[in-house]
Chains A and B, each alone.
Chain A
Amino acid sequence: MKLIGKRIEKDGSGRVTVRPEDDEDMWHLYNIIQEGDRVRAAGMRRIQNVSTTGSVDSKRIRLNLTLAVTRVTWSPSSAPGAESGTKSGAPNAAPVATAKVEVTGRVAEENQHVKLGAFHTLDIEANKDVRIEKDAGGWDSVALGRVEESCVPGRGAEVAAIVCGEGSAIFCLLSEHMTTVLQRLEVPIPRKISTQSSAHEKGLSRYYQTLYTSFLRHVPYASPSLRAIVIASPGWTRDAVFDSIMAEASRTSNKALLAARNKFIKVHVNSPHVHSLVEALKSPEIASQMKETKFAREGMMLDKFFKMLATDEMRAWYGPDHVALAADRGAIGTLLISDELFRSSDAATRKKYVNIVEDVQQKGGKVLIFSSMHESGRQLNQLTGIAAILTFPLDIEVVEAEEREAKEEEERRNAEERGTET
């Protein structure tokens, strides 16, 4: 995303103008725009003109509108890769934005065509400027952090991953903040039947063939921004898949693919499901090459949390209430928090989480905001969206009991005070 302009006041109000370019930028916008903001962007609107003769003339016109936002929705790209560059026969064109962010609200600035207060839904367009204006306190550290992160010049590294099982393959494309499932392939392979039957072998070769076709279609193997092509599977499927891709590449003298040979990384995972992505990405083969990418960091952090849970349960807490308690006690060494929690339509809820983040940072703790568009973020979401690794062990039961006591104590004091007043 390009940063076009930014003006933030001391009180956290102000405006930011950006120009989204691709799906990932749309995802950022979805995470930056909140209910109550004012958004100005280009859109289409049907305008009716009643002429002097009384005939009604309706036409669609382009215009810039400013909306007081009441709702933001996100719809992931429907069939990416299906279009991307395949028309030219080269599957390696630059990605196009197909994900959608829709901003709904009332028109907040006078416009010659639209009445103030009329409802409108803007479909945010790629390569057009979007201005986001927030009220006091709106540009909190998390929101500003997101803007900064999304406007780092140059797209981050991309990684293609194919999670395979015998007869299945899930093609994914990972960029810094999101994972897109490009295709789910399933080719029924009869399981081994009798020693004479070749049905299984036939099914397998059909699987490799289909997989190769999908590969050409979906994986931008020749694109320079594609850092790696990960093939992950249990058993030995990944070897067979890799070998069959390379064999086809040489048979058809696909030079670009042959040249991409060293982009391939084969990793073992324990199941052929998409949630194995986390396992694949934290594997030493990949972590060593890509430790600076967001998804690798998220995967490793989540792993660290679970390892802590195994070795010292009292230092691994999760759930909003528990983590808030740990934060109060200054016990958080690392905070794992999902971007989903900041998307709350309720400003107070968002503030609560922003406060936890700032609090942890002030006390020297580490904060990692997970993207819920990555598998690791998704798994964190399942785990309530928030978890913490503590710097020292704390017994939840004890902390909760103390909290209860403190509360009772306070109530008693309040009651007494009230008593003395009267």
Chain B
Amino acid sequence: MTVDQRQLDIAGLNLDDDDPLEVILDEPAKPPAVVEKLIEEAKAALTAQEKSEKRSLSLVVVGHVDAGKSTMMGRLLYELGQIDEKKRVANERGSAKMGKSSFSWAWELDGTQEERERGITMDIALQTLNTPHRIITILDAPGHRDFIPNMISGASQADSALLVVDAAVGEFEAGFDRGGQTREHLLLVRSLGVSQVIVAVNKLDQVEWAKSRYNEIVQLLKPFLVQSGFHPSRTKFVPVVAMEGVNLTRREPADCPLFKWYEGPTLVDLLDALDPPTRDINAPLRFPISNIFKGTTSGITVSGRVCGGIVVAGERLRIVPGDESATVKLIDNDGESLPWAGAGSNINLILTSVDPVSLNIGSVLCRPGSIIPLTFSFIARIIVFDIQIPITAGTSIELFHHSLDVPASISRLISVLDRSNGNVIKSKPRVLTKNMSAEVEISLRGSLYSGPASRALPIPIEPFSVNKEMGRILVRRGGETIGAGAYHPLRAHQLRLIIGRLGVVMELLT
């Protein structure tokens, strides 16, 4: 074997890219005064929209693997007329050819080759549903536990959730038992700020459309939902059969045994009544990036959700972390180009005048002058989930913040808090056990190894009191979510205590 060393060297640098991402220099950005004026216009328009007929929101579809999430979304899109007959036939043929015809509806969402071959959703798919009174951005999440990082990235871009459970005997239980994703997903979405949920009890055809099974599942889920922090008034249940399109948009087919006992709303009725989120359009602009790709137009496209403020087409934004900037050439919402977009919108931004290497998933776009803070280490208040191995000081974790998944450690256990009032029960605990509420210090992992250092970038994060969406974090260890919480800088009296101890009062206070 002969290997050309030069070729190896160059390939090692990862430069030879078949469609290189060049730096695009395009039309200049709009001057700040113009941007300012557009923002004012946008605010007025957004306030008016709050009262309009058709409101928009985003919904993450979650649940245990194979519950039928993608099938339900595919079928729903079809029933709502958003997939034409040609496409449906193509999916049917394609999936049959692979010997996976039962996944034909899911194909609309499961777009990659591997997803189709395996019949498993591996990453979030984004679609838009049009119901009579709502425009709903759907984020179809993977159910397989190995892809929870992607599910988290989706859930952090949503303001409501649709939980799909499989009614089949044994299947519901598998998802709901310890280690099942029904449980974990619910806790995750709630921890990420989602407070309204629709539970679709699917595959009722597998249990002879039995009312008793439906009720049994509802009764099992209700207490858990309350425990997880979902208010009963914001929790809805609906029986469906995704595969056959039963009770998705209509009470059809009329002779379906389901309608002998079920008189309630269809899935779409419930979706159409979801509360749109309150949008903090006055906050500084925050746009955490969840995907980066080269679209059909020139420039680089980034996707994500506006987590505060308003973004305006033509403005120049800072990419945090880093010192680079980018110009927003276009704002794209499901194929439609917008002059601006406010908090809560799930959009694509087409960026120009930017060096693509400065863009990373997890970076946050901000307006110059009001940039999100960066940190390597911070204090968080967390709730410990139902874990078996207690958390010790120094526990290695994966830290999740929006679409970021970084190695970190719980570097200090500061105190155990009373869950009801936040008072300190015990300082410097030795371990944290399940269901405790605690204050901890989280530090990103540095690189101490021999060899090249990891790309240890600080993370952009804001105190919960400043911007809730930018303050929330999730903590996982060994494939299991062990806690959730938010960045809460130390309270004033604690700060004084620590500073006093260190004797650096002046340095920090001036």
Binding site for B on A (CB under 8 A): 23, 76-77, 79-80, 86-87, 89, 99, 178-188, 190-195, 197, 199-202, 206, 209-210, 213-214, 216-217, 234-236, 240, 252-256, 270-271, 273-275, 278-279, 306-307, 309-310, 313, 318-319, 322, 372-373, 378-379, 381-384, 396
CB proximity of A278 to chain B, nearest CB, Å = 8
Question: Once the chains are docked, how many angstroms separate the CA of A190 from the CA of B124?
Answer: 12
Residue of A nearest to B449 (CB): A181
CB proximity of B290 to chain A, nearest CB, Å = 8
Residue of A nearest to B153 (CB): A191
The 4 closest A-B pairs by CB, nearest first: A76-B450, A382-B394, A270-B479, A190-B293
- A256 to B1, Cβ gap below 8 A? yes
Contact (A187, B14) CB under 8 Å given A79-B452, A192-B111, A382-B411? yes
Complex A-B: 14 CB contacts under 8 Å? A179-B449, A184-B454, A192-B122, A194-B111, A206-B17, A206-B18, A210-B11, A210-B12, A254-B1, A271-B405, A309-B390, A309-B392, A319-B430, A381-B394
CB proximity of B404 to chain A, nearest CB, Å = 12
Question: Once the chains are docked, how many angstroms separate the CA of A181 from the CA of B445?
Answer: 15
Question: Once the chains are docked, how many angstroms separate the CA of A26 from the CA of B216?
Answer: 65
Q: Mark contacts of B52-73 with chain A using CB atoms, 8 A cut-off: 1 yes-contact digit, 0 otherwise.
A: 0000000000000000000000
| Extra A-B contacts (10), CB below 8 Å, given A186-B455, A187-B14, A190-B294 | A77-B450, A181-B449, A185-B14, A188-B292, A190-B293, A191-B293, A194-B111, A200-B112, A271-B479, A383-B394
Residues in B whose Cβ lies below 8 Å from that of A185: 14
Interface: B464 (CB within 8 A) = no
Q: Is the interface of A mostly helix, strand, loop or mixed?
A: mixed
Residues in A whose Cβ lies below 8 Å from that of B114: 236, 240
- A255 to B1, Cβ gap below 8 A? yes
From A76, A309, A310, A381, give the contact of B451 (CB < 8 A).
A76
Residue of A nearest to B127 (CB): A194
Residues in B whose Cβ lies below 8 Å from that of A89: 2-3, 5
Interface: B509 (CB within 8 A) = no
- B451 to A197, Cβ gap below 8 A? no
Q: Mark contacts of B373-402 with chain A using CB atoms, 8 A cut-off: 1 yes-contact digit, 0 otherwise.
A: 000000000000000111011111010000
- B450 to A80, Cβ gap below 8 A? yes
Within 8 A of A (CB), among B92-149: 107-108, 111-115, 118, 122-125, 144, 146-147, 149
Q: Mark contacts of B1-36 with chain A using CB atoms, 8 A cut-off: 1 yes-contact digit, 0 otherwise.
A: 111010010011010011100000000000000000
Contact (A309, B292) CB under 8 Å given A86-B5, A181-B449, A192-B112? no
Residues in B whose Cβ lies below 8 Å from that of A77: 450-451
Interface: B291 (CB within 8 A) = yes
Residues in B whose Cβ lies below 8 Å from that of A79: 451-452
Residue of A nearest to B116 (CB): A195
CB proximity of A86 to chain B, nearest CB, Å = 6
Contact (A384, B393) CB under 8 Å given A190-B294, A192-B123? yes
Residues in B whose Cβ lies below 8 Å from that of A194: 111
Contact (A182, B398) CB under 8 Å given A89-B5, A210-B14, A213-B12? no
Residues in A whose Cβ lies below 8 Å from that of B392: 309, 318, 383
CB proximity of B21 to chain A, nearest CB, Å = 9
From A254, A270, A274, give the contact of B454 (CB < 8 A).
A274
Residues in A whose Cβ lies below 8 Å from that of B123: 191-192
- A216 to B112, Cβ gap below 8 A? no
Question: Once the chains are docked, how many angstroms separate the CA of A373 from the CA of B150?
Answer: 32
Residues in A whose Cβ lies below 8 Å from that of B293: 190-191, 193, 197, 199
Q: Mark contacts of B427-462 with chain A using CB atoms, 8 A cut-off: 1 yes-contact digit, 0 otherwise.
A: 000110100000000000101111110110000000
- B451 to A270, Cβ gap below 8 A? no
CB proximity of A381 to chain B, nearest CB, Å = 8
